[in-house]
């Protein structure tokens, strides 16, 4: 049986988590969600991995939940799956994650992309939260992460109508970072992953944590978090190496300490 989520290591310090259900437009059944969680759980223990790319294939990043599977679950059955715990394993991953999106990123697929830190999209990519059209609502962060990313009115329009939008409109909203030719998305994702992997990993981790958690704090508390993180980084060997490399006009070499 073909593995529904692949873990690839294209080069040093970079991993690719690839959803692999091409016959179902990479729809997210429970097995796929569990496998994504397992891959990110494994990567948490790999200090050598400094950037991760999450992707699907040319037709779909992930076209939403597997509706056939969901139709067989009662409310209690669905509750017992604890899908939120699977998504949290991904959301808690401390290092940068780039979503490389081609084709459809709908429903749970769009929610998955929004857990990532940077979204790159091909020109033909389509985004949307169409859950209302099957009588439900976004259930894996779509109504909450989306409003934080694009504001109340854009989030309302997408979630209430279930409409799809293209990559250019998603970029205008602030959901997508870059729009590229479809065949250039993975190349750009790999280039960006290389850029990230060459930077001090402790710095990346602290920046990611502050940006993710600061908005849920008061400004005073968030600024305190930022200061404490800065103080920790000042004492790191990576900071000393980065400063020396800058002054000596050479490339730094970092070990995450």
Q: Which residues are marked as active site?
A: 65, 108, 111, 131
Helix pair angle (83-91, 108-115), 10° resolution: 30
Q: What is the DSSP letter of 235?
A: T
Q: Which stretches within the chain are classed as H helix? A: 30-44, 67-71, 75-81, 83-91, 108-115, 142-150, 152-161, 167-173, 185-197, 201-213, 219-234, 237-247
Tell me how long the chain is: 257
> What does the block give as tokens for 208?
């990611």
Rg (CA), the chain: 19
Distances (CA, A) of 196 to 14, 50, 53, 204: 9, 7, 11, 8
Strand partners, 15: 52
> What does the block give as tokens for 216?
């849920």
Give Cα 101 distance to the centre of its chain: 10
């Amino acid at each position: 049986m073909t593995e529904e989520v692949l873990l690839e290591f294209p080069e040093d310090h970079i991993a690719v988590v690839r959803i692999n259900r091409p016959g179902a437009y990479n729809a997210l059944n429970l097995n796929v969600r569990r496998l994504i969680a397992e891959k990110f759980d494994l990567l948490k223990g790999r200090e050598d991995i400094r950037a991760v790319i999450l992707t699907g294939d040319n037709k779909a990043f992930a076209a939403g939940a597997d509706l056939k599977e969901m139709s067989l679950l009662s409310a209690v059955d669905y509750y017992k799956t604890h899908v939120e715990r699977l998504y949290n394993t991904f959301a808690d991953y401390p290092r940068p994650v780039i979503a490389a999106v081609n084709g459809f990123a709908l429903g749970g697929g769009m929610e998955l992309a929004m857990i990532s830190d940077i979204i790159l999209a091909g020109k033909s990519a389509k985004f949307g939260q169409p859950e209302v059209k099957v009588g439900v609502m976004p259930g894996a962060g779509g109504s909450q992460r989306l409003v934080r990313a694009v504001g109340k009115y854009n989030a309302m329009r997408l979630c209430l109508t279930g409409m799809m939008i293209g990559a250019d409109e998603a970029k205008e909203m602030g959901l997508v970072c870059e729009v590229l030719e479809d065949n250039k998305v993975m190349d750009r994702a790999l280039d960006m992953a290389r850029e990230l992997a060459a930077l001090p990993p402790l710095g990346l981790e602290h920046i990611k944590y502050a940006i993710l958690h600061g908005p849920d704090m008061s400004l005073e508390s968030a600024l305190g978090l930022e200061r404490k993180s800065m103080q920790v980084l000042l004492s790191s060997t990576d900071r000393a190496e980065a400063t020396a490399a800058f002054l000596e006009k050479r490339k730094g070499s970092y070990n995450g300490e």
